């Protein structure tokens, strides 16, 4: 990523959940000022910081120094990086670290990392002492615009992704845009898939803007902050209206039913497929399937694929390195999806760009035929 010389102003997005409302702060330099932001909102003097080895090597020491200077006693734990860390195996040491730090009601657990660390740490914070205060410091674009906001926490199971977890809202989210300059191009692109998703759900004008301005978003500065703030506001609005995914919040899973199945099919091997890449392919598949079901124009699917391909994201199952398991295996993963109700498959489909809706009666036979056509056998 290109660094940017102009210091952009900080933006604040409010997640309105009555007495559990919280701020998402977006802008440069927020890790350096994290302690003062935390101290101004929480009374606690003890913190447990959970990170991964890659992020920790770069950002843990500055954060710990900042907390110490503010009079906060903090302990830390660095876990292996990667999707496989979202497991019971790693949940145990996180809980032990929280309990060992004697975190009390006004203290907090801090997740310093991407979506894996945020999901795992949030789950631990949700169950340790029957619920501890929780702060997200997301260090990937994907985490800043999606997983750090909304209170969904959890770990993976052999049965599927994110099937074990709780809803546990953070007390504060600090999205430091400076850290995105250190991401690999692949990681940044993967996060961008979730940014594009908000336009495809119900903000066609935002998708139009991204088609014209994606290069500026990748470069950094005001366009990047605008894209992140718009994404966070979109998610905040949905979460405020439907915190526990009883209706509208399910739209945030556009592309995820197919994407999660593909992640499971690759055994969560990040060298083959990372989450945002699965979402990219999944969103294209969702638009193509919608066209197949005569719900939307094939031109919309073509447009979505063209944009995601232009930014460098995979858009087809054949883009995934290595061999994929048969369609039957993919269907088993889809049947384990959290949105399945009464055995009926539920997908987020679309009537056009920015016109997504929940379809809860999708015939499995149609999905099988569709996947057989798309499978790179």
Q: Which of 10, 90, 203, 256 is catalytic?
A: 256
d(C-alpha 160, C-alpha 224), whole Å: 32
Q: Which of 83, 245, 263, 305 is catalytic?
A: 245
Q: Which of 11, 86, 133, 152 is catalytic?
A: 152
Question: Strands 22-27 and 46-52, how do they pair?
Answer: unpaired
Give which of 139, 116, 151 is closest to 17, Cα–Cα: 151
Q: Annotated catalytic, 256? A: yes
Q: Annotated catalytic, 260? A: yes
Q: What is the DSSP letter of 209?
A: H
Q: Annotated catalytic, 212? A: no
d(C-alpha 273, C-alpha 80), whole Å: 18
d(C-alpha 352, C-alpha 355), whole Å: 5
Centroid of chain to Cα 377 = 30
Long-range CB contact pairs, 239-247, < 8 A, 24+:
239/15, 239/17, 239/149, 239/150, 239/151, 240/15, 240/16, 240/17, 243/17, 243/150, 243/151, 243/167, 243/169, 244/167, 247/358
Q: Annotated catalytic, 245? A: yes
Q: Which of 187, 194, 263, 305 is catalytic?
A: 194
Q: Annotated catalytic, 224? A: no
Q: Which of 2, 43, 130, 294 is catalytic?
A: 130
Q: Which of 11, 168, 203, 260 is catalytic?
A: 260
Q: Which of 133, 226, 253, 338 is catalytic?
A: 253
Q: Which of 235, 307, 338, 374 is catalytic?
A: 235
Question: For residue 252, what are the contacts with CB-CB under 8 A and spacing of at least 6?
Answer: 146, 150, 197, 201, 235, 238
Q: Which of 133, 203, 249, 307 is catalytic?
A: 249
Active centre residues (catalytic): 130, 152, 194, 235, 245, 249, 253, 256, 260, 275
């Amino acid at each position: 990523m290109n660094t940017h010389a102009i210091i952009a102003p900080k933006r604040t997005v409010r997640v309105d959940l009555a007495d559990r409302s919280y701020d998402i702060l977006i802008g440069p330099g927020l890790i350096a000022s994290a302690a003062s932001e935390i101290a101004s909102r929480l009374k606690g003097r003890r913190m447990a910081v959970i990170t991964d080895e890659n992020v920790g090597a770069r950002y843990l020491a500055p954060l710990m120094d900042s907390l110490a200077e503010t009079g906060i006693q903090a302990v830390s734990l660095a876990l292996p990086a990667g999707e496989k860390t979202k497991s019971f195996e790693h949940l145990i040491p996180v809980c032990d670290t929280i309990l060992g730090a004697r975190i009390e009601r006004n203290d907090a657990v801090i997740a310093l990392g991407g979506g894996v660390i945020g999901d795992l740490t949030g789950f631990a914070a949700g169950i340790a002492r029957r619920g501890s205060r929780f702060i997200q410091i997301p260090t990937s674009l994907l985490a800043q615009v999606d997983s750090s906001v909304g209170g969904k926490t959890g770990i993976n199971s052999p049965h599927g992704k994110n099937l074990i977890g709780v809803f546990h809202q953070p007390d504060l989210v600090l999205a430091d845009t400076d850290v995105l300059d250190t991401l690999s191009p692949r990681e940044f692109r993967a996060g961008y898939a979730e940014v594009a998703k908000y336009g495809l759900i119900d903000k066609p004008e935002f998708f139009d803007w991204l088609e014209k301005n994606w290069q500026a978003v990748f470069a950094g500065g005001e366009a990047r902050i605008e894209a992140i703030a718009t994404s966070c506001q979109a998610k905040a609005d949905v979460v405020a209206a439907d915190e526990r995914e009883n209706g509208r919040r399910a739209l945030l899973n556009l592309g995820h039913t197919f994407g999660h199945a593909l992640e499971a099919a690759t055994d969560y091997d990040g060298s083959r497929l990372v989450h945002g890449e699965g979402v990219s392919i999944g969103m294209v598949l969702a638009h193509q399937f919608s066209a197949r079901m005569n719900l939307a124009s094939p031109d919309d699917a073509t447009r979505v694929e063209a944009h995601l391909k232009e930014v460098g994201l995979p858009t087809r199952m054949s883009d995934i390195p290595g061999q994929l398991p048969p369609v039957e295996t993919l269907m088993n993963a889809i049947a384990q999806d959290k949105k399945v109700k009464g055995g009926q498959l539920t997908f987020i489909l679309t009537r056009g760009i920015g016109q997504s809706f929940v379809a809860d009666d999708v015939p499995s036979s149609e999905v099988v035929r569709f996947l057989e056509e798309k499978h790179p056998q």
